[in-house]
Amino acid sequence: MQTFVTDVLCIGAGLAGERVAIAAAEAGFDATCLSIVPARRSHSAAAQGGMQAALGNCSMGEGDSPDVHFVDTVKGSDWGCDQEVARLFCDNAPIAMRQMAHWGVPWNRVVPGKRHYYKGGERFEKEEKAEKAGLITARAFGGTAKWRTCYTSDGTGHTVLYTMDNRAAQLGVTVHDKVEVVSIIHDAGQCLGAVARCLRTGELRVYLAKATLVASGGFGRIYRESTNAVINDGGAHAAVLDTGVVPLGNMEAVQFHPTGIVPTYILVTEGCRGDGGTLLDVNGERFMHLYEPEKAELASRDVVSRWMMHHIREGKGVKSPYGEHLWLDIRHLGERHIRVKLREVDEICHNFLGIDPVESLIPVKPVQHYSMGGIRTNKDGKAYGLEGLFAAGEAACWDMHGFNRLGGNSLAETVVAGMLVGAKLVEYLRGREAVWNTAAVRDAVLRVEDRIERLRTGTDGGENVYAVRDAMQDALQDGVHIFRNADGLGRAVDSLREIHARAKRLGLRSNGVGANPELAMALKLPGMVRLALCVAHGALMRTESRGSHAREDHPERNDRDWLNRTLATWPGESDELPTLTYEPATRVMEMPPGDRGYGNGTIIPMDAGENNS
């Protein structure tokens, strides 16, 4: 077995992982990033829209500032975020964007002159100023007061990640791709590194580090239907939860997007509805206006998703080999509009569905999109519970998104958090000597070896890996989706407990030799079910509606009792449920809770009695 020793181990080579590795390398430390896939295939590459930073260069962004960005972010979070973190983020985002420009991102730039743009189907005019020519420009995104989203055509994540990886290569950051972390090595409250499996050979490896960073992205794949890459399955989150001492924050905060195409759940943009597209049911009839007479299809993401699921439950879904769905109709927008203004949608329909949206309906349904929850860190990116463990990016609950993240804020988070956490991590490394307790390391490896052996020989049982995974996904899909209520959540928690027991009795059907994919899934599946339980149990306990967490039986946002963050740990191996505790959402309250101005829910104010946290 190979052992690698490094100063910083980054679990993940997406934007967040590489940005931290770069900070360490710039300070003269050794940095190693691990990734399931080549770094540039990380899911950061899939973000097309863009990233927010208050540069205020374009005309529609005039008057923007980190303060305005801060207000948007805190409102967006439904006051669930850590306001100190949101402040740090907004203040530093412009610097991070300019730095990415310096390193090579071909940001779209301001072009002086008059131009048209559309809003709600109407045409407006704007004029870009000559003195701003060539500065980084921005586009509009939902939930923001100004145009603030920096972009490179339709490939923002791609260009930013390629630039980041170039910079990492230049500084000599080591990237080991096709390597998957299976467990975290820790001893006496100190994180020592990780045990990983090489996905080329199947061999186990040990990585020892003075500091370990988890930047493994989202865990959307615990849901069956998700816009996330197939590798975003929470394997690294599970490894962290299994330490028993590190909490995951706000796991119940899961974002859904209304229009994932069926069957592959690739996203088609909200722009379809923005431009006048409609949603139809099995009878070819519109339904959104029945539920939301005023806004209909143009209500906010979570609201539209909710009514879509409701309508399917009413028996109005379209049956398909991939389950029930609804239709998105953009035919009436006309061929010219579709081919030009909705080019990306047109291409997705042709490439992945083999249909022409000018003539055909698009099969869609709401799907999991983003994980607000994750490894809970303080504002420096230090994980709670273990010295030497850090987290950043979508994997972390740093927590600037609270219960709902704004479009364009997560890509920006990876880079800004990477920069700030990177600096803190360097501070941590300075003057620190590494001491490895070899017995702890050996134990960690033996445990994984033992698990592999038992899976191969079927010692614990013969449960089928994919059947158990399907059962977990069904439980979440049915009970912990957009609609939430005590009944559904209770049922989901009960069935997930049974599924958890089954996940301890997995046996492989193949021989498990080499880079065997069934073994990879079997190793992380019990941990994935534990993540699912953190989501479901946390959602059951949170008796209010906040951001994406919408309880039908508790429709009000309850600032009196729930202006707090859920922390989930899994202290005992034989536990059947996570242990939940709570902490205040924010220590510093720069902006007291108020109305978001959208989503029109009722609020139980903070001072209506005592606070339970």
Partner 1 sequence: MTRNLTFSIFRYNPMDRTSTPHMDTFVVPETSSMTLFIALTRIREEQDPSLQFDFCCRAGICGACGMLVNGRPNLACKTKTKELPDVVTLLPLPIFRLVGDLSVDTGTWFREMYSRVGSWIHTDREFDPLAEEERMDNALANEIYELERCIECGCCIAGCATARMRRDFLGAAGLNRVARFMLDPRDQRTEKDFFEIIGDDEGIFGCMGLLGCEDVCPKGLPLQDQLGFLRRRMGLAAIRSFLPGGK
Q: Applying CB under 6 A, which residues contact ligand FAD?
A: 11-17, 34-37, 42-44, 46-51, 157, 180-181, 215-218, 227-228, 231, 235-236, 267, 370, 393-395, 407-412, 414
Pairing of strands 248-249, 374-376: antiparallel
Among 27, 204, 231, 541, binds partner 1 (CB under 8 A): 231
Cα(first)–Cα(last) distance of the chain, in Å?
47
Select from 534, 431, 548 the least CA-distant residue to 484: 548
Binding pattern for the stretch 31-70 against partner 1, x by CB under 8 A and - elsewhere: ------xxxxx-x-xx------------------------
Between 47 and 496, whose beta carbon lies closer to ligand FAD? 47
Size of the site for partner 1 (CB under 8 A): 73
Binding pattern for the stretch 341-360 against partner 1, x by CB under 8 A and - elsewhere: -------x--xxxxx-----
Between 244 and 507, whose beta carbon lies closer to partner 1? 507
Choose from ligand FAD, partner 1, none: what does 15 bind? Cβ within 5-8 Å by kind: ligand FAD
Q: Where are the beta strands (DSSP E) in 222-325?
A: 248-249, 254-261, 278-280
Q: C-beta of 365: minimal distance to ligand FAD in Å?
A: 15
Among 62, 115, 126, 169, binds partner 1 (CB under 8 A): 169
CA–CA dist 503, 523 (Å, integer):
10
Q: C-beta of 84: minimal distance to ligand FAD in Å?
A: 20
| Torsion angle (degrees, nearest 10) of CA 173, 177, 180, 186 | -20
Choose from ligand FAD, partner 1, none: what does 264 bind? Cβ within 5-8 Å by kind: partner 1
CB 217 within 8 A of CB 395: yes
Q: C-beta of 527: minimal distance to partner 1 in Å?
A: 19
Among 199, 303, 412, 503, binds partner 1 (CB under 8 A): 199
CB 480 within 8 A of CB 534: no
Give how far Cα 467 sits from Cα of 182, 344, 370, 492, 525, Å.
21, 35, 25, 17, 11
CA–CA dist 246, 243 (Å, integer):
6
In eight-state DSSP terms, residue 406 is P
Between 246 and 348, whose beta carbon lies closer to partner 1? 348
The contacts found for 338-343 with CB under 8 angstroms, 24 or more apart, are 341/118, 341/271, 341/275, 342/269, 342/271, 342/272, 342/275
Q: Which of residues 305-334 bind partner 1 (CB under 8 A)?
A: 320-322
Choose from ligand FAD, partner 1, none: what does 28 bind? Cβ within 5-8 Å by kind: none
Select from 49, 158, 54, 44 the least CA-distant residue to 98: 54
Q: C-beta of 342: minimal distance to ligand FAD in Å?
A: 16
Choose from ligand FAD, partner 1, none: what does 143 bind? Cβ within 5-8 Å by kind: none
In the chain, the amino acid numbered 474 is: D
Q: Is 113 in the site for partner 1 (CB under 8 A)?
A: no
**382: phi then psi, degrees, rounded to nearest 5:** -80, 125
Select from 535, 548, 600 the least CA-distant residue to 367: 548
Tell me the catalytic residues. 301
Among 286, 289, 509, 587, binds partner 1 (CB under 8 A): 509
Residue 263: cis peptide before it, omega within 30 degrees of 0:
yes
Between 151 and 307, whose beta carbon lies closer to partner 1? 151
CB 126 within 8 A of CB 117: yes
Q: Which of residues 566-605 bind partner 1 (CB under 8 A)?
A: none
Choose from ligand FAD, partner 1, none: what does 388 bind? Cβ within 5-8 Å by kind: none
**Of how many residues is the chain composed?**
613
Q: C-beta of 287: minimal distance to ligand FAD in Å?
A: 26
CA–CA dist 277, 283 (Å, integer):
17
Between 309 and 395, whose beta carbon lies closer to ligand FAD? 395
Between 434 and 515, whose beta carbon lies closer to partner 1? 515
Between 37 and 330, whose beta carbon lies closer to partner 1? 37
Q: C-beta of 306: minimal distance to partner 1 in Å?
A: 25
Choose from partner 1, ligand FAD, none: what does 511 bind? Cβ within 5-8 Å by kind: partner 1
Between 303 and 367, whose beta carbon lies closer to ligand FAD? 367
Choose from ligand FAD, partner 1, none: what does 353 bind? Cβ within 5-8 Å by kind: partner 1
Token duo for residue 189 = 């409250």
- Angle at CA of residue 420, ends 379 and 90, nearest 5°: 80
Among 326, 412, 508, 532, binds partner 1 (CB under 8 A): 508
Q: C-beta of 57: minimal distance to partner 1 in Å?
A: 9
CB 362 within 8 A of CB 268: yes
Token duo for residue 604 = 């139980």
Choose from partner 1, ligand FAD, none: what does 38 bind? Cβ within 5-8 Å by kind: partner 1
Q: Which of residues 423-452 bind partner 1 (CB under 8 A)?
A: none
